[in-house]
């Protein structure tokens, strides 16, 4: 693992108390007894959503509520978090016993990083961080991206299939950070499941997983 001072350079922020940063980089697999970044991840998720919501509210004055919701969903998605994590080489700093740092681990660490800056420097510092790290993603979204569930529904209609249905299978994890497992049913296709940090998030993830499976099969 590289020195955390290099990560501070990557994110253009210097911590007053680096213990927040160290905790943000500590995955639950590193030790069952020590503290990990799960609580920070919970907080960072909320800070990111608030800051991004305000940014797009100011940037896209002509967007209606639905357009703004689609932009927000894209910008705070696991894929966007992962792309930011790779941009700042977060995988060089995460403390983990996992053999491979997958998308979920890096996306969660990115949220924890945001929370660590918020706790260390306040909302203005975390807003500056998000503006800096999300600048490319914000510039790249000229038109509001279509919600993945909307795209799947349109695909089903074009293929004369019934509207896809979603079912909550189970809920796992601690009360402060539950994980929801959802299944999707599409006529003529095998059932697919996926997980998320909310039912809505899980439905989006399983819809994306289904659409990805179509692309792989084409």
State the CATH number of the domain containing residue 101: 1.10.1520.10
The residue that leads in pLDDT, 153 or 124, is: 124
Residues whose CB is less than 8 angstroms from the CB of residue 175 and which lie 6 or more positions away in sequence, other chains included: none
Please give the tally of structural domains in the chain: 2
Q: 136 with 153, same domain? A: no
Q: Per-residue pLDDT for 43 more than 90?
A: yes
CA–CA distance, 103 with 96 (Å, rounded to integer)? 14
pLDDT score recorded for residue 192: 93
Residue 62 designated active-site? no
Task: Point out the domain boundary residue: 108, 140, 172.
Answer: 140
Whether residues 135 and 170 share a domain: the answer is no
Residue 9 confidence (pLDDT) above 90: yes
> How many residues comprise the chain?
218
Of 140, 156, 172, which closes a domain? 140
Out of 45, 108, 120, 203, the active site residue is 45
Mean pLDDT computed over 20-43: 90
Task: Please report the pLDDT score of residue 201 as a whole number.
Answer: 84
- Quick one: pLDDT at residue 66? 77
* 46 and 75 assigned to the same domain: yes
> For residue 198, is pLDDT > 80?
yes
* DSSP-assigned beta bridge partners for residue 92: none
83-109 per-position pLDDT tens digit: 999 999 999 999 998 888 998 899 999
Same domain, 154 and 82: no
pLDDT at site 26: 94
In terms of domains, do 135 and 177 share one?
no
* Same structural domain, 165 and 206: yes
> Which residues fall within 8 angstroms of residue 89, CB to CB, at 6 or more apart?
7, 10
Same domain flag for 156 and 210: yes
**pLDDT higher than threshold 90 for residue 39:** yes
Q: What is the CATH number of the domain that holds 164?
A: 3.30.160.20
> 126 and 153: one domain?
no
- Has 45 been annotated as catalytic? yes
Q: Which of 22-31, 122-131, 140-149 has the lowest mean pLDDT?
A: 140-149
Say if residue 52 is in the same domain as residue 113. Answer: yes
Say if CB 29 and CB 38 are below 8 A apart. Answer: no
pLDDT at 182: 96
Mean pLDDT of all residues in 48-71:
89
Judgement on whether residues 111 and 156 belong to the same structural domain of the protein = no
Catalytic residue, chosen from 111, 120, 127, 203, is 111
Is residue 142 pLDDT above 70, yes or no? no
Identify the domain containing residue 181 by its residue range.
148-217
Nearest alpha carbon to residue 109 among 209, 37, 192? 37
Return d(Cα 111, Cα 217) in angstroms, integer. 33
Co-location of 69 and 122 in the same domain? yes
Do residues 196 and 204 lie in contact, with contact meaning Cβ atoms separated by under 8 Å? yes
What counts of helices (H) and strands (E) characterise the chain?
A: 10, 3
Mean pLDDT of 69-95: 91
pLDDT bracket for residue 181 (50, 70, 90): very high
Out of 84, 109, 140, a domain closes at: 140
Question: What contacts 24+ positions apart, CB below 8 Å, involve 129-132?
Answer: 129/11, 129/12, 129/13, 130/48, 130/51, 130/52, 130/55, 131/51, 131/55, 132/11, 132/12
The confidence score (pLDDT) of residue 216 equals 65
Residues 113, 161 within the same domain = no
In angstroms and rounded to an integer, the radius of gyration of the C-alpha atoms of the chain is 18
């Amino acid at each position: 693992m590289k020195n955390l001072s290099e990560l501070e350079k990557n994110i253009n922020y210097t911590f007053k108390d680096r213990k927040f940063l160290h905790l943000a980089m500590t995955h639950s697999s590193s030790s069952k007894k020590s503290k990990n970044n799960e609580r920070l991840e919970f907080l960072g998720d909320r800070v990111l959503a608030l800051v991004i919501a305000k940014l797009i509210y100011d940037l896209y004055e002509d967007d209606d509520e639905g357009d703004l919701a689609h932009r927000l969903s894209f910008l705070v998605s696991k894929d966007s978090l992962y792309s930011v994590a790779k941009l700042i080489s977060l995988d060089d700093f995460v403390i983990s016993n996992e053999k491979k740092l997958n998308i979920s681990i890096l996306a969660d660490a990115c949220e924890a990083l945001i929370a660590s800056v918020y706790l260390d420097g306040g909302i203005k510092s975390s807003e500056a961080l998000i503006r800096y790290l999300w600048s490319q993603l914000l510039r790249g979204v000229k038109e509001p991206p279509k919600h993945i569930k909307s795209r799947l529904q349109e695909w089903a209609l074009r293929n004369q299939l019934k509207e896809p249905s979603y079912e909550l299978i189970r809920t796992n994890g601690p009360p402060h950070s539950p994980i929801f497992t959802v299944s999707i049913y599409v006529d003529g296709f095998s059932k697919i499941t996926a997980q998320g940090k909310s039912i809505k998030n899980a439905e989006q993830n399983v819809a994306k997983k289904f659409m990805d499976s179509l692309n792989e099969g084409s």
